[in-house]
Chain A
Amino acid sequence: MSVQFISGNDAFALGVLLAKPAVISAYPITPQTVVVERLSEYVADGLLAANFIHVESEHSALSCAIGASAAGVRTFTATSSQGLLYMAECLPYAAGGRFPIVMMNANRALALPWNIYGDQSDSLSQLSCGWIQAYAENAQEALDLALMAFRIAEDARVSVPFMVNLDGFHLTHTYEPVDVPEQELADKFLPEFQTDNKIDFDKPVNMAFSAGPGHNKQFRIAHHNAMLRAFDAIAEAEKDFADIFGRKYTGALDAYRTDDADFVLVTLGSVSGLARSVADELREEGIRAGVLRLRYIRPFPGKEIAAILNGKRAAVLEKDLAAGRGGAVFTEVASVTAAATLSAIGGLGGEDIPAAAIRGIFKTLADEPETEVLYL
């Protein structure tokens, strides 16, 4: 293990290096580019024995990854924003075909208006595409999620592609000290990829087929159930991860001082650390504040969220705004608990979310319970 001072993108690329994918297909887009540049360098320097394929679009990036995964090998791609939407046709395709591809998405605003900075409207627009979705908070978690993503996606009970989201710039380009594990330990954590869902010359298969009414629902329900089984795979992977690397993760949710909280802010991604420090400050002022970070939004830990928020009042802070509806994450959380009363929309187009704004959310929650939406 070594400690390196690196960006979120660098950390994720190191995680992918440790996972040893056989095929990487990618198309550049800001702010994802550093990841594919690093991976290109690893391949160029012989550190990573992967076939790095320079595809002609994001649609081709994921289409190519589907082909490689159908051949039964570990496959990685990365994208962001417009790129994610350009490959959107391939998202449910990869998921429905049960190809456990891992993709990093650098969260970035969607055009129009054009904006290269970080918000979460890209990945949150794809909640129904059938992928596991996790959100890293910091560079260490980014690296760790890269390893865990392959393990969970490739788990035979799951076999679903996995999207790891890093807040564009706020996380992808921010430098932090990161523990980089030894390859030997990474190998211990992440076994070689084995699957029966692959091209086989001894037992030829017809893949990615049509299924009409009747059969169709069987595949869709099986996919849904596999996503739900991912909770078990996540728990087991995190237990092994803690045993091997000494870092503990807490499943789909990361609850901070929520047990005795009156007011809880639900977050996802890199803003969570700031939210926790604001909660600490408020505690010192006598306001019992807590933070509930969603590490995973697919599968959605609805029952656990409802249990944690029971009897409290909660706001949801997210970096997206679904026109005509509001915050996508708020909609999800409010669907499982009446405790979520306030939707806080911030960070759109990469706008900074200062501590004062987070304090304002808690204050609004405490003092103006009738307020439903807060635009930071």
Chain B
Amino acid sequence: MNARELSKNEYFFGHKACAGCGGSLAVRIALKVLGDRAVAVLPAGCMSAVGFNFPQLAFANNAIISTFAGTASMMTGILAGLNARGEKDFTVVSFAGDGGTADIGIQALSGAIDRNDDILYICYDNEAYMNTGIQKSSLTPYGARTTTTPPGTVSRGNEFRKKDMFEIVRAQGIPYAATASIGYLTDYMNKVKKASEIRGTKYIHVLAPCPTGWGYDTADTVDIAKAAVDCGVWPLREFENGVYTETPARGGDKTEYLRRQTRFSHLTDDEIAQIKDNEYNGRK
């Protein structure tokens, strides 16, 4: 599908996300693809914090906040309940952040994949606990400044490399897994669409830059999200029916990508040059 085929209906609006929020774009576009029959599950995190402030409730479709650790398990329960009452043709979809997915929620996600529950788990990755004020998660890239990985006299920022969630879910034998970027919306839309038509557990990990946490101009979110793919630190990957594919890097400049973000501004040119792609994206 392309942008012209995207529904004109809005399902996520009137929320309180920051200007230039990549996560809210990931939610808005996915719900346009999935339509009225989507049931959205959001754990604690930016999107639930900005979308569910009674009486200002921002979802036009059915939506619910889960516990932080309980995204996938609540999805399983909703799926079972809707099946029990005889509903057909719906999609239980999550929008969980990087911490909610790769840290506190990974046990429940693994359980759902294990049971092959028919859910679409979307992780919007802004690479830190942004809602609580930019603390490190296991998806924060190497070298990044966060409020809990501050560069200091004996520290150069985050010393850990990003966890590779795509490989983790793929290793569990998931029917469908993909990475995406809100910089390449058509690709993201099509992955959401494809995933919604596959039975079993689907996992989409969409890079969703955060101007507040990454330190760039709010107008540049889509550009930054494109640049991450182009320079090779965030390859677009897909695993479907046991077949792995990857969109080749488009030849962007990794140093330029990192230099556009103040979270890397403490690093010297030498240090920037030494950051390997796999330290950024977690790949082996």
Residues of A within 8 A of B (CB): 22-23, 25, 51, 53-57, 59-61, 63-73, 75, 89-90, 93, 199-201, 204-212, 215
User: How distant is the Cα of A25 from the Cα of B79 in the complex, in angstroms?
Assistant: 12
> For chain A, what secondary structure do more than half of its interface residues adopt (helix, strand, loop), or is it mixed?
mixed
Determine how close the nearest CB of chain A comes to the CB of B2; give it in whole angstroms: 27
User: How distant is the Cα of A9 from the Cα of B59 in the complex, in angstroms?
Assistant: 43
B77 in complex: contacting residue of A68, A201, A206, A210, CB < 8 Å: A68
A51 touches B74 (CB 8 A): no
B171 contacts partner chain A, Cβ-Cβ < 8 Å: no
Report B56-98 CB contacts with A as 1/0, cut-off 8 Å: 0111111111110110111111111111110100100000000
A207 touches B115 (CB 8 A): no
B77 touches A72 (CB 8 A): no
B37 touches A71 (CB 8 A): no
Given A60-B111, A199-B39, A209-B54, A65–B70 Cβ distance below 8 Å? Answer: no
Given A25-B77, A73-B81, A59–B67 Cβ distance below 8 Å? Answer: yes
B186 contacts partner chain A, Cβ-Cβ < 8 Å: no
Given A53-B115, A57-B107, A67-B75, A200–B81 Cβ distance below 8 Å? Answer: no
B77 touches A215 (CB 8 A): no
A55 touches B84 (CB 8 A): no
Residues of B within 8 A of A75 (CB): 77, 81
Nearest CB to that of B63 among chain A residues? A206
A70 touches B81 (CB 8 A): yes
Given A207-B63, A215-B54, A70–B78 Cβ distance below 8 Å? Answer: yes
A71 touches B78 (CB 8 A): yes
User: How distant is the Cα of A308 from the Cα of B21 in the complex, in angstroms?
Assistant: 62
B78 touches A67 (CB 8 A): yes
B116 contacts partner chain A, Cβ-Cβ < 8 Å: no
Given A67-B74, A73-B85, A199-B39, A211–B60 Cβ distance below 8 Å? Answer: no
Given A56-B107, A60-B111, A212-B53, A68–B80 Cβ distance below 8 Å? Answer: yes
B166 contacts partner chain A, Cβ-Cβ < 8 Å: no
Given A60-B111, A67-B76, A201–B57 Cβ distance below 8 Å? Answer: no
B55 contacts partner chain A, Cβ-Cβ < 8 Å: yes
Determine how close the nearest CB of chain A comes to the CB of B272; give it in whole angstroms: 40
Report B108-128 CB contacts with A as 1/0, cut-off 8 Å: 101100110000000000000
Determine how close the nearest CB of chain A comes to the CB of B4; give it in whole angstroms: 26
In which size bucket is the chain B interface?
Answer: 35 or more
Pull 12 A–B residue pairs with CB atoms less than 8 Å apart, ordered by A. Answer: A23-B77, A25-B76, A25-B77, A25-B80, A53-B80, A59-B108, A60-B73, A63-B67, A63-B69, A65-B77, A66-B77, A73-B85
B49 contacts partner chain A, Cβ-Cβ < 8 Å: yes
User: How distant is the Cα of A200 from the Cα of B59 in the complex, in angstroms?
Assistant: 13
Residues of B within 8 A of A (CB): 36-37, 39, 41, 48-49, 51-55, 57-67, 69-70, 72-85, 87, 90, 107-108, 110-111, 114-115
Given A68-B78, A209-B57, A56–B110 Cβ distance below 8 Å? Answer: yes
A70 touches B77 (CB 8 A): yes
A89 touches B67 (CB 8 A): yes
User: How distant is the Cα of A65 from the Cα of B81 in the complex, in angstroms?
Assistant: 9
Residue among A61, A63, A70, A200 with most chain B CB within 10 A? A63
Residues of B within 8 A of A90 (CB): 67, 70
A204 touches B61 (CB 8 A): yes
User: How distant is the Cα of A22 from the Cα of B65 in the complex, in angstroms?
Assistant: 22
B62 in complex: contacting residue of A93, A201, A211, CB < 8 Å: A201
User: How distant is the Cα of A71 from the Cα of B80 in the complex, in angstroms?
Assistant: 8
A66 touches B74 (CB 8 A): yes
A201 touches B37 (CB 8 A): yes
B111 touches A55 (CB 8 A): yes
Given A54-B115, A206-B57, A60–B82 Cβ distance below 8 Å? Answer: no
A68 touches B54 (CB 8 A): no
A210 touches B85 (CB 8 A): no
Residue among B49, B85, B87 with most chain A CB within 10 A? B85
A201 touches B36 (CB 8 A): yes
Residues of A within 8 A of B51 (CB): 206
User: How distant is the Cα of A208 from the Cα of B76 in the complex, in angstroms?
Assistant: 16
A60 touches B80 (CB 8 A): no
User: How distant is the Cα of A25 from the Cα of B63 in the complex, in angstroms?
Assistant: 21
B81 touches A69 (CB 8 A): yes
Given A59-B69, A209-B53, A215-B55, A64–B63 Cβ distance below 8 Å? Answer: no
User: How distant is the Cα of A312 from the Cα of B48 in the complex, in angstroms?
Assistant: 54
Residues of A within 8 A of B58 (CB): 206
B80 touches A64 (CB 8 A): yes
A209 touches B52 (CB 8 A): yes
Nearest CB to that of A212 among chain B residues? B53
Residues of A within 8 A of B63 (CB): 204-207
Residues of B within 8 A of A70 (CB): 64, 74, 77-78, 81
Q: A63-B77, A93-B67 are in contact. List 9 more A-B contacts (CB 8 A).
A: A54-B115, A59-B70, A64-B80, A66-B66, A67-B77, A71-B78, A89-B69, A211-B54, A215-B54
